[in-house]
Amino acid sequence: MLTFAGKGYSPEFISNFDRIAGLIASGAQSVEIVLAPDDICAPLLGDPTCHCRNASLSERDRFAAEALVDLLHQPIDQNAKVHLTPEILARMRAAFAAGTTRKACNGCQWSPTCDGIARDSFRETRLLCG
Ligand code: SF4
């Protein structure tokens, strides 16, 4: 979400992600963590070949969650609520740009894109709050 720039798997995926980013930007600052495909994945789940249930994705999610435990000082597991205040988003962006929360990104095809967005101070991101 930190680096979502309106690119992705399909127009439906992008539109849905824009909707969720808009909810957060308009003040719905609490997101619930789920250990499964989530609301962002929803447009992909009708495709039997979608990767959202792959073991590799579960491992990537686990790495991302572990990084956020240290950063946000709270458990990041099933049903945890994360309050995405501007201050927390700023902290998450700084850590992402510094590379300290990016173990989950190893081998990701989108890494060059996300690297560029972070280098450009997240100006391209569609999550505009903060
Ligand atoms: S590089 Fe991949 S895993 Fe990392 S933030 Fe970007 S899309 Fe997510």
**For residue 8, how many other CB atoms are within 10 A of its CB?**
18
Amino acid identity, residue 105?
Answer: C
Report whether residue 108 contacts ligand 1, using a CB cutoff of 6 Å: yes
Atom 8 of ligand 1, residue of closest alpha carbon:
105
At residue 92, the pLDDT reads 95
**How far does residue 37's CA lie from ligand 1's centre (Å)?**
16
| SS3 state at 89 | helix
Amino acid identity, residue 127?
Answer: L
Distance, CA of 24 to CA of 20 (rounded, Å): 6
What's this model's pTM, rounded to 2 decimal places? 0.89
Atom 1 of ligand 1, residue of closest alpha carbon:
111
What's the pLDDT tens digit per position in 58-115?
A: 899 999 999 999 899 999 999 999 988 889 999 999 999 999 999 999 999 999 999 9
pLDDT tier at 129, thresholds 50, 70, 90: low
